[in-house]
Amino acid sequence: MKRAFLLFLVWLSFSCKNEANKNRSYVPESSGNINYVTVVMSQGDWNSTLGEKVKEGLQKIYEGLPLDEPQFSLVYMNPNSFSGFARQNRNIVWFRKDSLEGFRMSQNQFAKPQILATITGIDVESQAFYFKENTDLLKRTIIENERKEKLRRIMKSPTTEKTLLNRLGIELIYPSAYKTFKDTTNFVWIQKEVQKGHLNIIAYTLDEKALEGTLNKRILNIRDSIGKAYVPGRLKGSYLITERAFRPYYYRTELDGKQAYLTKGTWEVANDFMAGPFVNYMIQDTINRKILAIEGFVFAPTAKKRDYMFELNTIINTLKQVD
């Protein structure tokens, strides 16, 4: 009952704030890097168990990376500095001491787009309780806010290429910086150059029975066979395979309204020293009786990879099948 009441308060606050924002004449554009969250609380609380709980809740490890990186990067701010331009950050979690306890989320309060979560309580124990009770909701909301922001940035200069449409009958929204790298009968590879590396998306189709048997083993074996056929490494006889030393993450999900299998893990190159993270979707197309596979992978050995993978995930989730 208490949890249901808390969720009602969140919904009520969110709805009321959204209605109020419709009547606002102007709010400035929000700022901040993708996947950054500003946390506003006293210095003492930040260095106490409350701060530790916030870090623990918002800095879970981003799945599928070869080296650990947090889901969100936290930026601490003292309440005395939380004014003016500082309030224009896109994702803000604000802790305040107040006899009116609870968790409230508002949208576009000080800037647009913006998520502002306010946690109030008479002491740190109370604030920690309301934060913990609503951490999952908060993270889902921030992730969706960041996805929309990333897509907004992509739409500033979207591609006009039609390779994926002409070859496989699918559409993706991605920046014009990505170019077709390989285009064959049943395989498309697009790539974007980044500093000392590149981001990649590959797509291909499979027979509808390709995943029959032990699903996890079949997905990895298919990846390896596709890598051997289409994704060579730098050295002769080298090619993309799945890193078996780190167990991938497997999920059932949906993409473009169809059942899909999601795999996150690490790739490497057979007979060479190259590696990085990948995300793979295998989508069941029951109408056309085939499986559509789409995958993003990063090669950037000297760079952090969370935000690169977030970009690839955002692009892949725009997929629409049009044939």
Per-residue pLDDT tens digits for 40-86: 999 999 999 999 999 999 999 999 999 999 999 999 999 999 999 99
- DSSP annotation of 158 reads B
pTM score, whole prediction: 0.89
| DSSP H or E run through 211 | none
Q: At what angle do helices 2-22 and 124-154 cross, to 10 degrees?
A: 50
Query: What is the spatial distance between Cα 124 and Cα 127, in angstroms, rounded to a whole number?
Result: 5
Fold (CATH) for 163-321: Protein Transport Mog1p; Chain A (3.40.1000)
In sequence order, the 6+-apart residues with CB closer than 8 A to the CB of 57 are 131, 132, 135, 139
pLDDT tens digits, residue range 96-136?
999 999 999 999 999 999 999 999 999 999 999 999 999 99
For the chain, give every domain's residue range: 2-154, 163-321
- What does the DSSP 8-state code read for residue 285? E
| One-character DSSP codes across 219-275 | HHHHHHHHHHHH-B-SSTT-EEEE-SSSPPEEEEEEETTEEEEEEEEEEEEETS--E
C-beta separation of 302 from 289 below 8 A: no
In this predicted model, what pLDDT tens digit does every residue of 122-177 receive, in sequence order?
999 999 999 999 999 999 999 999 999 999 999 999 999 999 999 999 999 999 99
